[in-house]
Structure 1
Amino acid sequence: MSKPSASPRTEVRRKPQRAHHDTATVHAIIDQALVCQIAFNQGGSVHCLPTACWREGEYLYIHGANNSRLTQTLLEEECAVSITHLDGLVLARSAFHHAMNYRSVVIYGRFTAEDDPDAKAAAFKAFVEHVSPGRSPLVRPPSRAELAGTRLLRLALDEAVAKIRNWGVEDSEEDMAIPVWAGVQPLALTAKPLQPEAGCGEQMPPAPPAFIGRA
Structure 2
Amino acid sequence: MPETAPPSATAAYRPTARTVPTRARERAAYDHELVHAILDEAYICHLGFVRDGAPVVLPTLYGRVGERLYVHGSTGSRPLRMAGGTDSGGTEAPGLAVCLTVTHVDGLVLARSAFHHSINYRSVVVHGIARQVTDAEERRAALDAIVDHVVPGRSYDSRPANDRELAATAVIRLDLDEVSAKVRTGGPNDDPEDAGLPHWAGVVPLARGYGAPVPADDLDPAIDLPDYLSVL
The 10-residue stretch of structure 1 (128-137 or 94-103) with the greater mean CA deviation from structure 2: 128-137
For 1:60-108, what per-residue CA distance to the aligned partner results, in whole angstroms no more than 9, with x for missing partners?
1100111211212244431111111111001112212111000111111
Identity %: 41
Q: Runs of 5+ in structure 2 lacking a partner?
A: 1-10, 85-94
Could you tell which deviates more after superposition, 24-33 or 5-14? 5-14
Q: Structure 1's 49 and 25: CA in aligned 2 closer, same or farther, altered over 3 A? A: same
Tell me by how many angstroms 1:208 deviates: 5.5
Change (3 A) 1:91 1:209: farther
* C-alpha distance in 1 between matches for 2:141 and 2:18: 32
Aligned residue identity for 1:132: V
Q: Compute the TM-score of the two structures, normalised by the length of structure 1.
A: 0.88
Quick one: distance in 1 between partners of 2:186 and 2:83? 36
Aligned to 1:37: 46
Alignment partner of 2:223 out of 162, 181, 203: 203
Asked if 1:13 is matched to 2:32, the reply is no
My pick for the range that moved more, 37-46 or 75-84, is 75-84
Structure 1 residues 163-182: aligned runs within 5 Å: 163-182=182-201
Give, in angstroms, the shift of residue 191 of structure 1.
2.0
Closer, same or farther: CA 63–170 of 1 in aligned 2, 3 Å: same
Q: Residue 152 in 1 paired to residue 171 in 2?
A: yes
Question: Counterparts of 2:27 and 2:50 in 1: how far apart (Å)?
Answer: 28
Matches within 5 A, 1:102-181: 102-181=121-200
- Is structure 2 residue 104 aligned with structure 1 residue 95? no
Change (3 A) 1:31 1:208: farther
Q: CA deviation at 1:3?
A: 5.7
The answer to whether the 8 Å contact 2:99/2:126 transfers is yes
CA distance in structure 2 between the partners assigned to 1:93 and 1:8 by the alignment: 35
Structure 1, gaps ≥5 residues long:
none
Instruction: Count how many residue pairs are aligned between Structure 1 and Structure 2.
Output: 210
C-alpha distance in 1, partners of 2:12/2:160?
41
Check 1:86–1:202 CA distance in 2 against 1; reply closer, same or farther (3 A cut).
Answer: farther
Measured after TM superposition, the shift of residue 156 of structure 1 is: 0.6
Contact between 2:13 and 2:177, CA under 8 Å: does it hold in 1?
Answer: no
Q: Secondary structure at the match of 1:27?
A: helix
Deviation of the 1:145 alpha carbon:
2.6
| Alignment partner of 1:83 out of 91, 102, 120 | 102
Amino acid at match of 2:185: N
Q: State the alpha-carbon separation in 1 of the partners of residues 217 and 123 from structure 2.
A: 39
State TM-score, norm by structure 2.
0.82
* Alignment RMSD: 2.1
Query: Partners of 1:171 and 1:69 in 2: how far apart?
Result: 47
